[in-house]
Structure 1
Amino acid sequence: MATPQDENLTHFGYKTVLKEEKATKVAEVFHSVAAKYDLMNDLMSMGIHRLWKRFTITLSGVRRGMQVLDIAGGTGDLARAFARETGATGRVVLADINASMLNVGRDKLLDQGFTGVEYVQANAECLPFADNTFDVITIAFGLRNVTDKDAALRSMYRVLKPGGRLLVLEFSKPLYTPLSKIYDAYSFSILPAMGQMVTQDAESYRYLAESIRMHPDQETLKGMMANAGFVNCDYHNLTGGIVALHRGFK
């Protein structure tokens, strides 16, 4: 993953922007798509995102009474599953930097009867929780949007309990060249057109495709997690490496 030479600059998709501008630009993307976010997830992945998230729940090892933080939790798919697993004695916090996404997630889970989930608007780079708070932390399809990923991983490490685990579910690098070519054609042609049709916003989905290409590959992200302090880091390639689930322990 190429990095802009100026330390004050970062990537926003294929564009180079000032670091302080990126969070605002990402926020604009998710304000735009929040209302149709779940529908687009199903359309874009043909429903396979549900299997990726189910695998994440399985590897999380979540049990009754645990404290769980879902960062960039969006519309609450993981938080809902965690609430079922942790029960009345547990704690589930859905955190997101974007107020629109957080509101959609809150409304959705309340409508479904999940009244015990906590909602916190928070930046992953500086999480507003005490050290050693959570047994499990997840971030699904959110890390690539973070400006300083290393700072975010250190922040997650800090609030995780000793022995706790972090799971990062994110788009990654396809393992096979033919699959990669098909994926590129889909991402840069079909995906923006689908975004325009469903949300009247092709540009946000063009950013999505670009942000995926700029995200660290499997081995690079594994190294970043180790540098942040996590041990026994590993990853599982899903759907031919289009998505990878990284795991690390404190």
Structure 2
Amino acid sequence: MTKIITPYRQSDAGKKQQVAAMFNNISAKYDFLNHFLSFGIDKIWRRRAILSLKNLQPARILDVATGTGDFALESIKRLQPSRVIGIDISEGMLAIAREKIERNNLTETFSVELGDSENLEFDENSFDAVTVAFGVRNFENLNEGLTNIHRVLRPGGQAVVLEFSNPKKFPIKQLYSFYSKYILPAIGRLFSKDNRAYTYLPESIAQFPDGEKFADCLKDAGFRKAECKPQTFGICTIYIATK
């Protein structure tokens, strides 16, 4: 059985509750740190992931673990869907997403609400596409979350997952390991004031079943096809699964 990695080791709370608390703690600095710590490459990853849905032309999109809404906003910009719903377990992150929605005059197109992947309160076959950016690592029950995502997708619909992965080749593997273990946590602590959030990040990446292993997880959840597209030397991967 795979060990469950949680943000706060001394806490008795479940992973879901700890993750929600962690993102509430770092929500004010989340966007800045995302772009800063990835040298802005995360914006390219998001764009590529969303553009993988271009041929599908989804009208209704569900963005799971929407956070501050950047992935959903990218889908609106690139795909022009009629409706996007974002869900997240962190109210702190959603508050920032709502500010972006208001600022961009998108209240008719994009809305966000508290929710999590394991308890999606939507009917079967409700969405043309489901997107998740840097969120599946935080699912308390990965199979249950993916099964729920599969359930709410229409037949022929697609799930696009963007997630960190572990580089396999020298010297990127060694450089990435050093950066994620020492540099990233130090900068994260400096700006976010949360001593564990950016230590949890590399721990959760190391434990995550990336690459073909995650593609197999998607198939186990019911998807008939799943492909993975590594990005930037394998630091990140785009997964595309079809129902």
Q: Would the TM-score normalized by the shorter structure come out above 0.5?
A: yes
Does the CA contact (< 8 Å) of 1:129 and 1:159 recur in 2?
A: yes
**Per-residue deviation, residues 123-175 of structure 1 (Å, max 9, x unmatched):** 10121100000001010000001110000000000000000000110001213
Which of residues 29, 35, 40 is equivalent to 1:42? 35
Match of 2:77 in 1: 84
Q: Does 1:161 align with 2:154?
A: yes
Count, aligned residues: 242
Contact 1:67/1:134 (8 A) holds in 2: yes
Q: Which residue of 1 aligns with 2:63?
A: 70
Amino acid at match of 1:92: V
Shift of 1:182: 0.7
Residue 197 in structure 1 maps to residue 196 in structure 2: no
CA shift, 1:28, in A, is 1.6
Q: In 2, distance between residues paired with 1:201 and 1:69?
A: 29
Q: Does 1:238 align with 2:231?
A: yes
Q: How far 1:16 moved relative to its partner?
A: 9.7
Which one of the candidate residues 88, 91, 99 is aligned to 1:96? 88
Matched with 2:105 is 113
2:207 to 214, 219, 231: 214
Q: Look up the SS of the partner of 2:128 in the other structure.
A: strand
Structure 1: gaps of 5 or more residues: 5-9
Q: Does residue 1:139 correspond to 2:127, yes or no?
A: no
Q: Give ranges in structure 2 of 5+ residues lacking alignment.
A: none
Go from structure 1 to structure 2 and tell me whether the alpha carbon gap of 1:120 and 1:23 turns closer, same or farther (over 3 Å shift).
same
CA RMSD of aligned residues (A): 2.0
CA contact (8 A) 1:63 1:85 kept: no
Tell me by how many angstroms 1:97 deviates.
Answer: 1.3
Q: Deviations over 1:31-88 (max 9, x none)?
A: 111011110001110000000000011102277670001111111112112223554x
CA separation of 1:189 and 1:126: change in aligned 2, threshold 3 A? same
Does structure 1 conserve the Cα–Cα contact (< 8 Å) formed by 2:165 and 2:211? yes
Q: Residues 122-133 of structure 1 correspond to what in structure 2 (within 5 A)?
A: 122-133=115-126
8 Å contact 1:13–1:210 — kept in the other structure? no
Q: CA deviation at 1:11?
A: 2.7
Give distance in 1, aligned partners of 2:158 and 2:123: 16
Q: Is the 8 A contact 1:62 1:86 kept in 2?
A: no
Q: TM-score, normalised by structure 2?
A: 0.93
Output the CA distance in 2 between the equivalents of 1:36 and 1:14. 19
Letter in 2 for 1:114: L
Task: Please tell me whether the aligned partners of residues 14 and 210 of structure 1 are also in contact (alpha carbons under 8 angstroms).
Answer: no
- Retained in 1: the 8 A contact 2:88–2:114? yes
Counting aligned pairs with the same residue, the percent is 35
SS at match of 1:35: helix
- Structure 2 CA distance, aligned partners of 1:93 and 1:14? 29
- Which SS does the other structure have where 2:172 is aligned? helix
Amino acid at match of 1:94: G
4+ residue segments displaced more than 2 Å: 13-18, 61-65, 81-87
Question: Per-residue CA shift, 1:77-110, capped at 9, x if unaligned?
Answer: 12112223554x7111111111111111111221
1:3 aligns with 2:2: yes
